[in-house]
Amino acid sequence: MRKKNIYFLLLLLVVLITGLVLSLDFRPRARLFPMIVILSCGVLVLIELLRTWRSAPHPEGEENAEAEQEKRRRFFITTGWLVGFALTIWFFGLAAGMPLFILAYLKTHGESWLWTIVLPVAMFVLVYFGFGILLETPLYEGWLFLQYQ
C-alpha cells in the first residue's frame, strides 16, 4: 500500500505540474482558481509524500505477497474486461454490444445457460425497447453497423 501510494502521489505531482504549465497560458481571471487549487494541492501532495516516505513499510509475509499477486492478476483481468466492454459497445453499438458483453462474460465464467440467455435478453429488451423505442433515445449503432449505412 505504501509503495502504491508513493507512485500515485508522484503521478499526481506530474499531473499538477502539467496543469500548472497549462494554466500559465490562460488569461489572469481564467487561471486564478486553477492556480490556487493546483498550488494548494501540490503542497498537500508533497506533505503526504513525505509522510508516506518516512512511514515504515509493512513487513509482508509470503502469504500476503501471494494474495497481493493474485489480487493484482484479477485486477488486470478485470481491466481487460472493462477495455473489452468499451470496445464491444464502440464496435457493435449499445443494443447489440451490451448483451454480447454480458453473454461473453457469463459464458467465460462458466455460468449456466439459463442465466447466460436470460440476462443478455433482458439487457437487449431494456436498451432497445426501453431506451430506444419507449424513450426515443438515439442509440449509438456501432462502428460495424455504421459502415453499412
Partner 1 sequence: MTDSIIQGLSVLFQPAIMVGMFFAILGGLIFGLLPGLSGLTFMAIFIPFTWGMDPFLAMTILVAAYAVSCTGGSVTAVLVNVPGTPANAATVLDGFPLTQQGHAGRALGAALFASASGGVLGTLVLALLIPAVTPIVMAFGSPESFFLIFMGLSFIAVVGQESKLKGSISGLLGLLVAFIGYHDGTGVARFTFGTSFLLDGVKIVPCALAVFAVPEMINLLITGRTIVEERTVVQAPFADIWEGMKDVYRHWWLHLRATALGVFVGIVPGVGGDVAVWVAYGHAKTTAKHPETFGFGNIEGVIAPESANNGKEGGAMLPTLALGIPGSAGMAVLLGAFLIQGLQPGPTFLVEHMDMAWTIIGVLVVANIVGAAICLVIAPQLIKVTRMRGQLLAPFLLCIIALGAYSYRNSLDDVFLMLVLSFLGWTMRQLGYSRPGFFLGYVLGGLAERYFGISALAHGWKFFLTPISLVIIAITIFSISFQPIADYLKRRKA
Is the alpha carbon torsion for 142, 145, 148, 149 positive or negative?
negative
Of 53 and 75, the one with the shorter C-beta distance to partner 1 is 75
DSSP for 68-92 reads HHHHHHHHHHHHHHHHHHHHHHHHH
Task: State the binding string over 75-104 for partner 1 (x if CB under 8 A, else -).
Answer: x--xx-xx--xx--xx---x---x--xx--
Structural contact between residues 98 and 127, judged by C-beta atoms closer than 8 angstroms: yes
Of 27 and 54, the one with the shorter C-beta distance to partner 1 is 27
3-state DSSP assignment of residue 66: helix
3-state DSSP assignment of residue 57: coil
Question: Would you tell me which residues interact with partner 1 (CB under 8 A)?
Answer: 1, 4-5, 8, 12, 19, 22-23, 26-27, 29-30, 33-34, 37-38, 40-41, 44-45, 47-48, 51, 71, 74-75, 78-79, 81-82, 85-86, 89-90, 94, 98, 101-102, 105-106, 109, 111, 115, 119, 122-123, 126-127, 131, 135-138, 140
